[in-house]
Copies of this chain bind each other. A is one copy, B any other.
Amino acid sequence: MKLIITQSVLAELLETAKNGISTKPIDPILGSLLIEASDSGRLTVIGTDLNVSIKTTAITNIIRSGVVALNAKLLVDTVNNLGSGELDIEVSDRACVISHSTGKCRIIGGNPEDFPSIPETENPTEISIPSKKLQAALEACLYCSSADETKLILTGVHFQLQGENWSCASTDGHRLAFVSSKLERNYEPLSFTVPRRSLTELGKILATTAENNSCTLKVANNTIQFILPNAELTSRLLEGEFPRINNLIPRSFANELIVERKGMEIILKRISHFAEKKHKIVKILWEVNDQQATLMTGNTDIGDAVDSLLMKTQTSIGENIGIGVNSSYLQEALKHISTDEILFRFNKPLQPVIISPVGGLLDQLTLIMPVDVQDFDKPENLATTSKPETETVDISEQEVSNETTNIAETSPSDTASTSKSKSRKRNKQEAKPVETAAL
């Protein structure tokens, strides 16, 4: 094997393919990149952890074809630190010598025959999705999938095609994300769930290549291929039935409110340090007359905080409404929206809260379950009160519903029925509405 390649071209091929490799390979060969130079002038680099494989290709000056498996970390560290310009690469036996303008380095490789083969998709269904939209869908959904490997199907993002619609959904049991868009033509109904890790790597590839092109998805045999110009990602699919989360998303809303995303992000960053550590509850009081949203924390040992920003009401709302949310979930939801304004939609204080961008490339929403906090009076006297125990804002004696309200066990109609009760002495059970499993 002998070839000449521009340093920046090789660096890019390696950097992308390397993401297929596990950070802790179980075998040295899985810590290697397979590099193949073909007589047709195509250089291919493959990295895999057996679940996901990334293949990158470029056309270059190949003098003699061949194949070599080289330690990914050493190769990437070396090539990234070489100066720009042409590299002369020659492999004999398993030793790969890279010559550049001021020196040479030699990497001893493994046996390329030990490198695992990448699964093929046989008679696949092919779908074409604009790369920018696919990238936006991953950005909107990936963070809501579970990072807990024991949650099996919930560790993936669920793709669904129906007619000319496609959608992606994810949930970790406490919140869910859902996006949908149109396809260019009609497809037979098809659904599959792709592991989070595979899509995280796909997201990185899309971030560097997603311009005006499209990504071709080939689905078959529990395997999916995402085909982009110069890069292919192959992944196994997750087995099992994904929760029917569509049932959990309300169809109509009594309250629709718009705030500026950055303004709310700044306030959350400011006051969330004051939220008690366990449930991280922040209360949002939607003040209809003042057209402002006031965010506040409960009164804890360390103190409390209150802050406001302007809001716009989209529906005619009679009186002030307060909802309690986990500030981390809310912050993460805002972080994955890219538009200037965001829309909050909900019915009653203990029913699901839907957060969406106003505008954007896709129909996008995040559903978070609110938590039960009862005292939403605005603490006007915060500044002048010297004794913490007399503060108006005080959630310490309240019944915090349940940090881990499980979406999979909740249906909107159940929630509606329980939130009517407003008694301070209500049973804790009520705030965690579990009557019939919606799924």
Contacts and interface: CB of A to CB of B under 8 A. Distances in A.
A380 to B, nearest CB: 10
A274 B73 CA distance: 11
Contacts of A384: 97
A82 interface: yes
A81 interface: yes
A303 B74 contact: yes
A83 interface: yes
Which of A104, A267, A305, A382 has the most B CB atoms < 10 Å from its CB?
A104
> How many subunits of this chain does the assembly comprise?
2
A302 B71 contact: yes
A386 interface: yes
Interface in A94-130: 95-97, 99, 102-108
Contact of A383 (B97, B304, B388): B97
A197 interface: no
B306 A104 contact: yes
Nearest to A310: B102
Given A105-B304, A108-B303, A301-B108, A81 B383 contact: no
A377 interface: no
A335 interface: no
Contact of A102 (B105, B307, B382): B307
A77 B266 CA distance: 12
A271 interface: yes
A149 B108 CA distance: 41
Contact of A97 (B81, B93, B103, B382): B382
B108 A78 contact: no
A107 B303 contact: yes
A273 B303 contact: no
Contact of A103 (B83, B102, B305, B388): B305
B386 A78 contact: no
Given A95-B388, A383-B97, A386-B92, A270 B304 contact: no
Interface in A234-292: 266-267, 269-271, 273-274
Contacts of A88: 383
Contacts of A99: 383
A422 interface: no
A387 interface: yes
Given A97-B382, A383-B97, A105 B74 contact: no
A392 B43 CA distance: 31
A274 B71 CA distance: 12
Given A383-B99, A386-B93, A270 B105 contact: yes
B303 A106 contact: yes
A3 to B, nearest CB: 14
A200 interface: no
Pairs of residues from A and B, 5 with the lowest C-beta to C-beta distance, nearest first: A103-B307, A105-B305, A92-B386, A81-B270, A107-B303
Interface of A: 71, 74, 77-78, 81-83, 88, 90, 92-93, 95-97, 99, 102-108, 266-267, 269-271, 273-274, 294, 301-309, 382-388
Given A74-B302, A97-B382, 16 more contacts: A78-B273, A78-B305, A81-B266, A83-B266, A95-B388, A102-B309, A103-B270, A103-B305, A103-B307, A103-B308, A105-B270, A105-B303, A105-B306, A106-B303, A106-B383, A106-B385
19 contacts: A71-B302, A74-B302, A74-B303, A78-B273, A78-B274, A93-B386, A97-B382, A99-B383, A102-B267, A102-B308, A103-B305, A104-B305, A105-B270, A105-B274, A105-B303, A105-B307, A106-B382, A106-B385, A108-B303
